[in-house]
Amino acid sequence: MMRRLGISTVVLATVLLLSAFMWHGNVSTAVAQMGGDPTPTPTNGADQPDGGGEGVKHGDMDSSLANPDRSLDVHMSADGADFSCTDCHTSDGHLVQGSRYSMNSTDEETCESCHTAEPHEFEMINNHTDRVACQTCHIPEYARGGVPTKMWWDWSKAGQMDENGKFLVIKDESGHSVYDGRKGEFILAEDVVPDYIWFNGNVSFNQRVDDLTAGKTNSINPDEVVAINTMHGRLEDPDARIWPVKTFRGIQPYDPVNNTLVVPHLFGKDDAAYWKNFDWAASIQTGMDTISATNYSGQFDFVETEMFWPITHMVAPAEDALECHDCHTEEGGRLDFAALGYPEDEVYRLTHFPPTVTVEALDKPHNSPQTCAECHEDQYNSWTDSHHGDSGVGCVTCHELDGEGSGAGEGDDQHPKLAYVVNQNPELCGSCHLDEYRDWDVSGHAANDEPIVCVDCHEPHTQQQRIAEGNDTSCGNCHEEEVLDVSHSTHGAVEMNCLDCHKNTHKNTGHTFFVESDTCIICHGEEAHTADMLVELGAELTAVTAETETSEPEATAVPPESGIPGNIQQSGILGVSNWVLVLPVLFIVIGGVWVVKG
């Protein structure tokens, strides 16, 4: 499903293959004879690390995976799943799924292939899988097997010799090279926290040419960091997920006249090879001539570049995976939600996230719902059957302890003396219920000096609405007249409650409590005012009117001296005209037919 990253032709692959071809000639036969059983360590087939050294490109593939313990990689460890490479990297001919050297390769085996799309106990965590890659939580750091990975490579500083005329090599205190006269200056790192980006599985590459046949050259902007590859995805992309990546930066040569990357000739027996005479001009000219580059100006300079490598090896055991507070925290969280494209209000709530059951029991067992259940069995049972129980939102999410550590008992088993207080701040609920909070915030309930908050309408342990089953008391506490008016209306006659109108809409979550334009239509249908409906209502009203007139007593004659015209008949009821008495009947019939036909 995920397309893996191929190395750019301008960074290493073209350079090394070009120099190897010039030195050895056709190497196809030799490469074919290097075949063997796959190993976790990336090599060139001769038991030598590829790509310029171990841990250079890949931050999550090095010799530590040859025989890892469970804490380093739960899949590859003999004490874990004891996988081999080909358990995940299946192949079709010579196309290996997941190969980062194949631009068009896509993964057939994914985490979901074994673990399903809902691998966690709690719904709240499973809801992340559509937008967050499994690797984001389950690979907290890369290059953590004792082998550092290269984070920075500056080719412009290559060429220095020691006092003996040999390549100058400088090593750090651990014995790893941080400068090599042949390659330049490096920055290495271990236990690296990944960068996080949106990724939908599609990668584009900044190759020197788009089409080798047409010879169309890609230009770069040297005033910016040049992206060797682009991993596509954004917040609005439904196929994108937040992925961990290694960002590999460096400085490499380019043509400042044509603003194109160049391909130098690095090693070989000829004098033009850079590692022979350390002459960039001759090395680049020979490299460009070899690939038949007709647009090289003959001038060169250096430009900063970056490339991205998705992290997918070194999967930690479940107990070492990230916790909610690693990302959903106000300061120091792993995810920069603003940089990922989230609007300001959502960034606030995503970084003020409540803890979950998993987090609650980490340090203090008495924070777990099971401990609370020892005394509060009824509340625990209600919570267990609720949406919060299914999602893992536990007791101390809402109940805050005042006076931690002042209770009876010792250490982690200590029970607090002081009671838990209830946090009724609607922003707490809004941390998860973003849309509901946003709608409530513009409602009349939020505008009061003493706002009506979530727990005023929702029972905390079951999350059920307090107005359910005909209970109008909640609304009636403030809206007494409105409740009385409705009780004598057509809606009241059919036992509708407040929420049937004030939360019944498809336009929002209903927490604005406005009666929206679609509210009436949801019950009465879109044909309430069509010609056919009005004809039917008219026919029924005519029948009712006729029946009323037939059943009326004869009118009393009007004495001439009364001054009332004789052609105006009076009813026998308080002298009120018949047509006036028909009006209330008319309104009752219209209301009744409307409700019935709706």
User: For residue 244, what pLDDT is reported?
Assistant: 97
CB atoms within 10 A of CB 452: 20
Q: What's the residue count for the chain?
A: 598
**Which pTM value belongs to this model?**
0.64
Strands annotated E in 53-205: 91-92, 95-96, 149-154, 169-171, 177-180, 184-189, 195-199, 203-205
Residue with tokens 């190969």: 99
Yes or no: say if 504 and 490 are a contact pair by the CB < 8 Å rule.
no
Higher pLDDT, 286 or 370: 286
User: For residue 331, what pLDDT is reported?
Assistant: 87
Yes or no: say if 401 and 420 are a contact pair by the CB < 8 Å rule.
yes
Phi, psi of 146 (to 5 degrees): 95, 0
Residue with tokens 């701040």: 425
CA proximity to 401, closest of 417, 380, 381, 420: 420
- 305/226 Cα distance (integer angstroms): 4
Model confidence at 579: pLDDT above 50: no
Higher pLDDT, 16 or 157: 157
Yes or no: say if 363 and 350 are a contact pair by the CB < 8 Å rule.
no
Cα–Cα–Cα angle for 269, 270, 273, rounded to 5 degrees: 95
Under the banding of pLDDT at 50, 70 and 90, the label for residue 513 is confident
Interval 298-333: pLDDT, tens: 999 999 999 999 999 999 999 899 988 899 888 899
- 563/573 Cα distance (integer angstroms): 20
Yes or no: say if 400 and 420 are a contact pair by the CB < 8 Å rule.
yes
Q: Which two tokens stand for residue 359?
A: 């987090």
β-pairing, 95-96 vs 301-310, is unpaired
279-287 long-range contacts (CB < 8 A, ≥24 apart) are: 280/253, 284/253, 287/15, 287/18, 287/262, 287/263
- 37/42 Cα distance (integer angstroms): 12
171-174 long-range contacts (CB < 8 A, ≥24 apart) are: 174/148
Taking phi first (over 0 means left), then psi (-120 to 50 degrees means alpha), and beta for anything else, what does residue 532 get? alpha
β-pairing, 209-211 vs 203-205, is unpaired
Q: How confident is the model over 202-225, as a mean pLDDT?
A: 75
- 460/367 Cα distance (integer angstroms): 18
Interval 527-537: pLDDT, tens: 666 666 666 76
Interval 125-154: pLDDT, tens: 888 889 999 999 999 999 999 999 999 999
User: For residue 409, what pLDDT is reported?
Assistant: 52
Under the banding of pLDDT at 50, 70 and 90, the label for residue 436 is confident
Q: What is the mean pLDDT of the chain?
A: 77
Yes or no: say if 477 and 450 are a contact pair by the CB < 8 Å rule.
no
Higher pLDDT, 393 or 534: 393
Yes or no: say if 123 and 143 are a contact pair by the CB < 8 Å rule.
no
Q: Which two tokens stand for residue 251?
A: 């400085």
Say which residues have a Cβ less than 8 Å from residue 97's Cβ, sequence separation at least 6.
Answer: 88, 89, 90, 91, 105, 106, 107, 108, 109
Model confidence at 217: pLDDT above 70: no
Interval 322-371: pLDDT, tens: 988 899 888 899 999 999 999 987 888 788 766 555 454 445 666 678 88
User: For residue 562, what pLDDT is reported?
Assistant: 43
Phi, psi of 450 (to 5 degrees): -115, 85
CA proximity to 429, closest of 344, 326, 352, 512: 352
CA proximity to 257, closest of 301, 223, 216, 215: 301
Say which residues have a Cβ less than 8 Å from residue 439's Cβ, sequence separation at least 6.
Answer: 508, 509, 510, 511, 512
Q: How confident is the model over 2-29, as a mean pLDDT?
A: 48
Model confidence at 112: pLDDT above 80: yes
- 309/246 Cα distance (integer angstroms): 5
Q: In Å, how far are 65, 472, 495, 499, 553 from 448, measured between CA atoms?
A: 61, 20, 29, 20, 57
Tell me the HSE value of 259 on the side-chain side, using a 13 A CA sphere. Answer: 9
- 21/120 Cα distance (integer angstroms): 51
